[in-house]
Amino acid sequence: MRVLSGIQPTGRFHWGNYFGAIRQYIALQHEGDALYFIANLHALTTVRDAAQLQQNGLDAAIDLLALGLDPNRATLFLQSDVPEVSELCWILMSGASFGLLERCHAYKDKVARGVKPGVGLFTYPVLMAADILAYDSNVVPVGEDQVQHIEVTRDLASSFNHQYGETLLLPTARLVSDAARVPGTDGQKMSKSYRNTLDIFADAKVQRKEIMGIQTDSRPMEQPKDPDTDHLFQLYSLFASNSDRDAMAARYWAGGFGYGDIKKSIADLSGDYFAEARAHRNEIAAAPQKVHEILQDGASRARAKASEVLLRVKNACGLRTLSPKS
């Protein structure tokens, strides 16, 4: 089994990134051939500062390594270091239906939130398809909001195969159930777009202040509350044991406690949960050359596979170089 996933370096990773994706990366690296890339080409649609994008890519690599990604078990690389993907993207784009891309809800949602509707954003699913197909990926772990893009990938691969013969492997999505369960500080899904995130590696004192300032309703202390509809309880559940969750839920139903109690518990538990990763990150960040070497080695391994797939595609569609007649 070959697992493939990417994560955009558009800012520091937050709890939603970890529980919605990164934690699964760490687990899946033990189950098969895992490739994880830092999607800096995708990030160009939103990050237009060169120095910032470069720093974000390095920070993303350090964060992933600190959280447990093992370069001896998984291939970690920068998306832009595998140019074969961009060439495959154009080949796929040349046969992509405008209507197929126009129906993608992620594009429509971002435009509705005021994001400038550029060509890069519109064709994002095709580059994502190239990312996946370039490595003969079998499994792609995604959140529910990305399932449609895997369907687009399968459509593009099927279309190519129908036109030129069986060439591209069709991947399957593995739904990450935790992805939709991480609310932000305002109760919406945690997302950089909503500016409601809690960063994994934020200063402990700063983060505690952010947690204590999370928005809540105005119900009185003595009133019973439903834990299943409360975003603070959802955040608490990310870190608490089953028995502690049950005990906290009972306190909700009984009433007589304020939201400040659970906020303090979230701050304490999350601080302990990420303490080891924070210490490890400081060690890794002190040796950036080692991080660059890991990324370069990962790109070399990724390119070997991507070159093989791209050659297969070019041979199929007539882009191979003709040998001179003897």
Q: What is the pLDDT of residues 166-186, one digit of tens each?
A: 999 999 999 886 655 799 999
Q: Which of 159, 87, 93 is nearest to 123 (CA)?
A: 93
Of 36, 30, 29, 38, the residue nearest 8 (C-alpha): 38
What is the per-residue pLDDT across 235-247, written as a single tens digit (0 to 9) for each? 999 999 999 999 9
Q: What is the mean pLDDT of the chain?
A: 94
205, 265, 208: which is closest to 236 by C-alpha?
Answer: 265
* Residue 242 tokens, joined: 């089953």
pLDDT digits 0-9 by tens, 58-92:
999 999 999 999 999 999 999 999 999 999 999 99
Comparing 141 with 257, which gets the higher pLDDT?
A: 141
Q: What is the pLDDT of residues 203-225, one digit of tens each?
A: 999 999 999 999 898 888 889 99
How far apart are the C-alpha atoms of 54 and 58, rounded to whole Å? 7
Query: Closest Cα partner for 147 from 122, 172, 164?
Result: 172
Q: Give the C-alpha separation, 172 to 239, whole Å.
A: 30
**DSSP alpha helix (H) spans, the chain:** 15-17, 23-28, 40-43, 50-66, 83-93, 98-102, 105-112, 119-122, 124-133, 147-164, 204-212, 231-239, 242-254, 259-273, 275-285, 288-317
Strand bridging mode 139-142 / 74-78: unpaired
Over residues 136-142, mean pLDDT:
94
| Contact in structure between 183 and 234 (CB atoms under 8 Å) | yes
In the set 110, 225, 263, 305, the catalytic residue is 110
pLDDT at 324 over 90: no
| pLDDT above 50: residue 10 | yes
- In this prediction, residue 221 carries a pLDDT of 85
* pTM for this model (two decimals): 0.93
Return the half-sphere exposure (C-beta side, CA atoms, 13 A cut-off) of residue 132: 29
- With contact defined as beta carbons under 8 Å apart, do 133 and 2 qualify? no
**Quick check: 200 pLDDT over 70?**
yes
Map out the domains of the chain with their CATH numbers. Answer: 2-182+288-317 (3.40.50.620), 202-273 (1.10.240.10)
| More confident position, 267 or 222 | 267
Instruction: Assess whether 189 carries a catalytic annotation.
Output: yes
110 is catalytic: yes
